[in-house]
């Protein structure tokens, strides 16, 4: 065979390289290029959905003008949000007890008992949240008053803008 006898000189004073070696290396490099061109998008494509995180599913959830919230008594408000997972959109209902002492500062807490997830309700006479499942009670600010629940009711972060109240997220414990 005569191949390999031709000598190729690469520029800039590099060592002499046989045609065969050059072709081999160029081929390997290009195969690597093809691999990268297809491999990198593949990884990005596969990893993509893992980037989605939980949360409210919306930036902010409007609850309405602040004037409609009764002062001094926690009141239950319900809001439907659309949560999109992949290409499927589901409607979920979120419920909050919204509480304000002065009509300016608001707090919102979940109506889900932190014990086993029953729905608590506000008993006006007792000034407490009552969970019918195991007779647990919570204070007005959501802390546990009696019964088995391990922690206070979950709180939500609120935002007042243009006299409108929005829920903007969960308060992380």
Partner 1 sequence: MIEKIDLWFEERMGWRPIWKALALRNIPKVTWAYTLGSATLLVMVNQILTGILLTIYYVPSPQDAYNSVSFITNEITAGWLIRGLHHWGASAMVILAGLHMIRVVVHGAYKFPREVTWFTGLGLLAVTMAFGFTGYLLPWDQKAYWATTVGTRMLEVVPVIGPWLLRFARGGEELSAVTLTRFYGMHIWVLPALLMLLIGIHMFLVVRIGISAPPKASETEEEGPELEVEA
Partner 2 sequence: MKPEERSEYLEEYAEDKKKGIPFFPDAVFKDVLVGLTVLIVLIGFAYFGGAPLEERADPSDADYTPRPEWYFLWLFQLLKYFPGNLEFVGVILLPALGFAILFAMPYLDRTRLRHFRSRTWVMGSMGVAVAAMGFLTVQSMIDIPLPANVTGEINAAALFTEHCSVCHGTAIEIHEGTNLHETIAGGHEGMPAFAATLSIDEIDALSGFLVSPQGGAIFTANCAECHDSGDLAAVSPFELQAALSQGTGYAAHADLDIPEWEEVVFGQDRTALLNFLLAPDGQRLYGLYCSECHGPAIDWDGDRDQLEVLIREGGNHREMTQWRDVLPDSEITLLALYVVEPSSSPDGEPLFAQHCADCHGVRVPTAVDIETAVEIIADGMSHRSMPLWGDVLTEEQLTALTTYTLDASRGTPTLIGQALFGRLCSTCHGDFGEGGPHPSDPTNIIAPISTAIYLETRDDATIRAIISKGPSEGMAPFLESEGGPLTSDEIDALVAFIRAWEDDPPVEFPPEIEQGPVAGGSRQVFSTFCAQCHGEDGAGGADLVGPSLTSDTFQNAYSDEELFASIDRGHSATSMIAWGDVLTAGQVEGLVEHIRSLVSRTIVYSRDIEPIFQASCSACHGSLGGWDSSSMQLVIESGDSGPAVIPGDPEGSNLVRSLRGTGMQTMPPAGELSDVQIDLIVEWITGGATEEVTIGGEQAGGSAYTWTVDVQPILAASCGACHGSSGGWDAATYDSTINSGNGGPAVSPGNADGSSLAQRLLGNGALMPPGSALSDDQIQIIIDWINNGAAR
Where on the chain is the footprint of partner 1 (CB under 8 A)?
A: 1, 34, 38, 41-42, 44-49, 51, 86-88
- Contact window for partner 2 (CB under 8 A) among 29-37, 50-58, 85-93, 154-162: 29-37
Our CB check for partner 2 shows the closer of 39 and 103 to be 39
46 binds, among partner 1, partner 2, none (CB under 5 to 8 A by kind): partner 1
49 binds, among partner 2, partner 1, none (CB under 5 to 8 A by kind): partner 1
Q: Tell whether residue 171 is a contact of partner 2 (CB under 8 A).
A: no
Residues recorded for the chain: 173
Q: What is the pairing mode between strands 75-85 and 88-100? A: antiparallel
Run of H or E including 23: helix 19-47
In the complex, the smallest distance separating the C-beta of residue 81 from partner 1, rounded to whole angstroms, is 19
Q: State how far the Cα of 113 lies from the Cα of 139, in Å rounded to an integer.
A: 12
In the complex, the smallest distance separating the C-beta of residue 94 from partner 1, rounded to whole angstroms, is 24
Strand order in the sheet with 155-161: 61-65, 164-170, 155-161, 106-110, 88-100, 75-85
- The 108-127 contact track toward partner 2, x by CB under 8 A, reads ----------x--x-x----
CB-count burial class (<10 Å; 0-12, 13-18, 19+) for 108? buried
Our CB check for partner 1 shows the closer of 42 and 143 to be 42
Assign 40 to helix, strand or coil. helix
Q: State how far the Cα of 122 lies from the Cα of 113, in Å rounded to an integer.
A: 12
* Structure token pair of residue 68: 């409609």
Q: Tell whether residue 132 is a contact of partner 2 (CB under 8 A).
A: yes
- Contact window for partner 2 (CB under 8 A) among 20-28, 47-55, 99-107, 150-158: 20-28
Our CB check for partner 2 shows the closer of 94 and 133 to be 133
């Amino acid at each position: 065979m005569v191949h390999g006898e031709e000598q190729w000189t690469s520029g800039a004073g590099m060592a002499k390289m046989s045609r065969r070696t050059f072709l081999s290396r160029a081929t390997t490099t290009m195969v690597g290029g093809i691999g990268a061109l297809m491999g990198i998008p593949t990884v990005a494509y596969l990893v993509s959905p893992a980037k989605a995180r939980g949360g409210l599913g919306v930036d902010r959830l409007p609850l309405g003008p602040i004037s409609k919230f009764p002062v001094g008594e926690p009141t239950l408000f319900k809001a439907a949000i659309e949560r999109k997972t992949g290409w499927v959109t589901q409607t979920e209902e979120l419920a909050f007890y919204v509480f304000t002492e002065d009509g300016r500062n608001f707090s919102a807490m979940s109506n889900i008992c932190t014990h086993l997830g029953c729905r608590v309700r506000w008993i006006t006479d007792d000034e407490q949240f009552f969970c019918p499942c195991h007779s647990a009670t919570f204070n007005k600010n959501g802390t546990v008053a009696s019964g088995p629940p391990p922690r206070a009711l979950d709180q939500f972060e609120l935002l007042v803008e243009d006299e409108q109240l929005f829920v903007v997220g969960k308060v992380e414990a």
